[in-house]
Amino acid sequence: MTATDIDAVGGSPLTADGLRQFQQDGFTVLRGLFGHDEIDLLRAEFTALHAAGPVPGHFQPRAGSDPLAAYPRVMQPHEINERARRVLLDARLRTVLEVLLGEEVLAAQSMFYFKPPGARGQALHQDNFYLRVEPGTCVAAWVACDVIDRDNGGLEVVPGTHLMDLFCPEEADADVSFAREYVAPPEGLTPVPVDMAPGDVLFFNGSVVHGSQPNRTTDRFRRSFIGHYVGRSAERIGAYYRTTAMSGERVVLPESEGAGPCGTEFAPQGPH
């Protein structure tokens, strides 16, 4: 029996210490929530999806020297892929999210990032700047699909920013970020790296400032599957987000203003 079994909260894999960290810092990591065999199948599914070519409205590989032109992120893959849908609505995620949000949860979107060698990162930002959940916020479940560390552009989070309002972003440096928005860490706060293994899941509040550096390796992808979720009491969300009950039924919420897809992208980079 593991410490998680002994100290589980609300029948979920989340420990009391994990819940305290989420409440205090705005994030927590559950190690090994998904098995390596499950992650192998998920990676294989997206490798095949990419090889099959573009899917309009979800991902559109392009010619060019920018690694992200060849391997763009896949938006809302659960709408075109059954395995992605099963991961987004997985009962293990649901039990954790119900504790973190304190209520029934709705899935709002899914994404898959390939982040190949040489790819730019994503400047520090806040997810609820894009989702515009009202009232409240969203929670992300960020599933590692590779060994993820500093070298291949692992995620960084700024603890405590979940207690702050949404910031007005500046423009990011296009040489290191594929997305335009950048939120500077508030005075006295510093980004903390989160190294992960395949199957680990990072849960974080939608107001947490987070981002990643470029993948500086020559031979390692940094693949990840991300779901965003909101509480059932949410009254509005951006029109881009297709809220769905964890049982699979679509739940339509009124539109909030000022929302958009996560990360407004710069144009792909050409040769330097």
Query: If DSSP codes are grouped into helix, strand and coil, which group holds residue 199?
Result: coil
pLDDT in tens, 200-239: 999 999 999 999 999 999 999 999 999 999 999 999 999 9
269 found inside a domain: no
Indicate the number of domains in the chain. Answer: 1
Best CA proximity match to 33, nearest among 218, 208, 214, 197? 197
Q: In whole angstroms, what is the distance from residue 95 CA to residue 19 CA? A: 13
241 found inside a domain: yes
The CATH code of the domain that includes 79 is: 2.60.120.620
Query: If DSSP codes are grouped into helix, strand and coil, which group holds residue 227?
Result: strand
Sign of CA dihedral 65, 71, 75, 81: positive
pLDDT in tens, 157-215: 999 999 999 999 999 999 999 999 999 999 999 999 999 999 999 999 999 999 999 99
Q: Name the pTM for this structure.
A: 0.94
90 found inside a domain: yes
- Domain limits for position 231: 3-53+64-245
